[in-house]
Amino acid sequence: MEPLVTVGGFAFPEPATYDATTSTIVDAGRNVSGVTVGSVVRHDVAKIELTWRYLTADQWAAILSCFTETFYNNVKFLNQATNAYTTRTMYVSDRSAGMWRRDPDSGKVMGWTNCSLSLVER
């Protein structure tokens, strides 16, 4: 099965939720009658929000490592606007997760819950 999201060639694990936003950027203002007038600045700017209920510590670290060196990445994702896979240059939001538990013997983190990040088209 095609992964929903691939960043720089690394296929992300299947997320628990996948929310897609497609924006039209508009430079808008109110005319002298108070009616909005505007101009399209850019069409179909994509944003995807991903969450995972649980990821192992290694999985989450592998995902985060995609963004350690590069802020902008080539992201292949399912584009809701075309219902097809598209590759766009995107940047990443804050990445957050809650620690699940540590191994009582080794002290290693065993996993993370409610992991989330967003990718926004450049």
Interacting residues toward other proteins by CB under 8 A: 25-27, 29-33, 35-43
Minimum separation from the CB atom of position 71 to other proteins (A): 11
Minimum separation from the CB atom of position 39 to other proteins (A): 3
Nearest residue to 49 (alpha-carbon basis) of 16, 76, 23: 16
Nearer to other proteins, 42 or 101 (CB): 42
Nearer to other proteins, 39 or 83 (CB): 39
Minimum separation from the CB atom of position 108 to other proteins (A): 39
H/E stretch holding 38? strand 36-56
Nearer to other proteins, 23 or 65 (CB): 23
CA–CA separation, 83 and 79 (whole Å):
5
Print burial letters for 4-24: b (CB count within 10 Å at least 16), e (below 16).
bbbbeeeebbebeeeeeeeee
